[in-house]
Amino acid sequence: MEKETKEKVTRLLLTRHGQTIGNVQQVLQGQMQGELTEEGREQARQVRDRLRNEPIDAFFSSDLKRSVDTCTIIAEPHHLPVQTTPLLRERDWGDFTGELIPELKDKVWPDNVETIEQMKARAMEFVDMLKREYPGGTVLAVGHGIINKALQAAFYGKPMHEVLKMANAEVREIIL
């Protein structure tokens, strides 16, 4: 009788950073560092308190300040370091970076905006790393609205428009 081998799955708690000053001002932050508002810090504390007793093996964050700050707050009770990675960075908006979102309506996109395919490839590189390094483990990762959407779209094989936008400090569980 052949022995069945069961692959160990990795549980990803995909999280969006807390509210930032740029979110409030409707700035297209992209790969700008960003600063959490007091509400954004409170959102992170609420996630921290909700997940305080959750067994989490590793914490990852985009290397942008708004995500690192969110992840650091959430990781406090677990006494684990926050590992940063550019794979979770927000979409590079090129020449649109720093612009006010309402003013971009009907503008022609510059050639230096990161493509959806590039974001999905970056996101799947992160997923593959987690599956390789944390089989059977639980990882909390703090990213951004668009890259988190790209990760879910790539993982589930869906177009981006079929993935619901994540709210600030929202957590979604994905079984890898």
At 64, list the tokens. 């942008």
What is the rounded distance in angstroms from the CA atom of residue 75 to the CA atom of residue 140? 9
CA distance 134 to 95: 37
- To the query of whether residue 42 is one of the catalytic residues in this protein, the response is no
Given the residues 4, 39, 78, 90, select the one marked as catalytic. 90
Instruction: State which amino acid sits at residue 27.
Output: V
Q: Are 17 and 144 in contact (CB under 8 A)?
A: yes
Here the tokens at position 63 are 């290397």
Q: Is 17 a catalytic residue?
A: yes
| Coil vs helix vs strand at 94 | helix
Of 17, 78, 114, 144, catalytic? 17
Chain centroid to CA 174: 12
Provide the annotated active-site residues: 17, 90
